[in-house]
Amino acid sequence: MKPRVFVTRRVYPAALAILQEHCVVDYQDSHDTLDAARLVRRLQHADAVVCQLTDPLTAAVIAAAPKLRGIHQIAVGHDNIDVAAATARGIVVTNTPGVLTEATADLTWALLLAAARRVPEAERFLRAGKWQRWDVDLLCGADVSGRTLGLVGFGRIGQAVARRALGFGMRVLYASRSETPAAVEQELRAQRVPLDLLLKQSDFVSLHVPLRDETRHLIGVEQLCQMKSTAFLINTARGPVVDERALVAALEEGLIAGAGLDVFETEPTVTPGLLQLPNVVLLPHVGSAVTSVRSLMCALAANDCVALLTGERPKHPVNPQVLAPLENE
Ligand code: NAP
Ligand code: GLV
């Protein structure tokens, strides 16, 4: 009998074709998100689930899915999944790293440049019919070239952002728990420093850590106070890495110059105050939103799902320790 897979939300067709060849697919062909109760109902007979970052794969949901063997997330971040609960049940969790690195680094730069050079504000000005003439002080922004970029988290995306900074002649600092090979530091001309030094010295602070207990509100009042009053905060990691209420206050009080945000603490709700601030660029979590990239992400998740269900090793396990006993069977 073919295994059963639940696909929680609309995906690119390539993923469905891969799944349908080997599995019976229960497909929710819609952009609607399922709450925990509806998710549990659809997971009753599922051997695996292909899910998205909007799906709450909590410990309770996992506990209520009796046959589940695989959770296959179409994203690199997987903070919506209780990986510890899955691991305890012997459920393999996979994600989609790598294919979205360049697209997300590009978007980080789009935000950085847009915030520094006031691009959305300037466009709003023009569209509102306010443009009268070239003025020497019209919509002047901040320098980017030659300034200091501070990267918090120096994994795949952090390093891809640093690579782009070479073209802007920037000094690159990074804060990370672990060391980066000297060859990579040299190639990217990046220097590892403690977080507080990075905050004090950077003109642009860009966040690239996963959301975990220890990174929740990593940037709060204390950290914002350490930043230069001319500096910008860019967040394409996860909303809760920043204390958004503290950020609104910092922007209102001029503690920092501006921000560029692709992610928010309680998506899709935007913290009160942010929408009113002209010095913030706000995007609806579109870091990896390139058609070819999203299609690849869907295919990667589907391939790992099929691999697990057909006895092969999935390529991107988040909890590889679960696979070891399976491989010895
Ligand atoms: P990655 O390669 O795993 O890099 C994350 C880095 O963060 C690692 O190098 C990790 O190194 C470091 N880190 C973890 N905890 C830290 C801490 N407390 N302080 C400093 N560094 C820490 O992941 P990635 O592919 O670059 O993706 C990063 C995140 O970006 C994802 O988890 C996701 O949330 C987000 N993302 C967002 C979008 C979007 O659409 N906006 C798209 C893709 C990804 P150590 O563990 O050695 O410290
Ligand atoms: C998107 O946010 C991802 O984590 O892939």
pLDDT in tens, the chain (329 residues): 999 999 999 999 999 999 999 999 999 999 999 999 999 999 999 999 999 999 999 999 999 999 999 999 999 999 999 999 999 999 999 999 999 999 999 999 999 999 999 999 999 999 999 999 999 999 999 999 999 999 999 999 999 999 999 999 999 999 999 999 999 999 999 999 999 999 999 999 999 999 999 999 999 999 999 999 999 999 999 999 999 999 999 999 999 999 999 999 999 999 999 999 999 999 999 999 999 999 999 999 999 999 999 999 999 999 999 998 767 66
Would you give the distance in Å from CA 312 to the centre of its chain? 28
The full DSSP string for 37-98 is HHHHHHTTT-SEEEE-TTS-B-HHHHHT-TT--EEEESSS--TTB-HHHHHHTT-EEE---S
Q: Which residues contact 300 (CB under 8 A, 6 or more apart)?
A: 74, 96, 99, 315, 316
C-alpha of residue 297 to centroid of ligand 2, in Å: 10
- Write the CA distances from 22 to 14, 25, 261, 265, integer angstroms: 14, 9, 40, 38
Same domain, 297 and 191: no
* CB of 292 closer than 8 Å to CB of 102: no
Q: Which residues contact 181 (CB under 8 A, 6 or more apart)?
A: none
Same domain, 16 and 69: yes
Sheet of strand 232-235: strand arrangement:
190-192, 171-175, 148-152, 204-207, 232-235, 258-261, 280-282
* CB of 226 closer than 8 Å to CB of 196: yes
Domain of residue 224, CATH code:
3.40.50.720
Task: Name the residue among 309, 306, 312, 323 with its Cα closest to residue 17.
Answer: 306
Same domain, 266 and 141: yes
Task: Name the residue among 88, 59, 86 with its Cα closest to residue 72.
Answer: 86
Q: Is 242 helix (H, G, I), strand (E, B) or coil?
A: strand
CA distance 202 to 232: 9
Same domain, 115 and 83: no
Identified catalytic residue from 117, 164, 245, 285? 285
Whole domain around residue 34: which residue ranges?
4-98+291-328
Same domain, 174 and 305: no
Same domain, 94 and 112: no
Query: Two tokens at 316?
Result: 């991107």
Same domain, 271 and 216: yes
Same domain, 28 and 65: yes
- Ligand 1 surroundings by CB, under 6 angstroms: 76-77, 97, 100-101, 104, 152-158, 175-178, 208-211, 214-215, 236-238, 262-263, 285, 287-288
Domain boundary among 244, 259, 282: 282
Same domain, 308 and 278: no
In sign, the C-alpha dihedral spanning 308, 312, 313, 314 is negative
Same domain, 160 and 309: no
Same domain, 233 and 92: no
Same domain, 242 and 296: no
**Does the CB atom of residue 287 touch ligand 2 within 6 A?**
yes
Number of domains forming the structure of the chain: 2
pTM: 0.98
Return the pLDDT at 324.
Answer: 83
Q: 152-183 burial, b if ≥16 CB within 10 A, otherwise e?
A: bbbbbbbbbbbebbeebebbbbbbbeeebeee
**In 10 A of CB 17, how many CB atoms?**
11
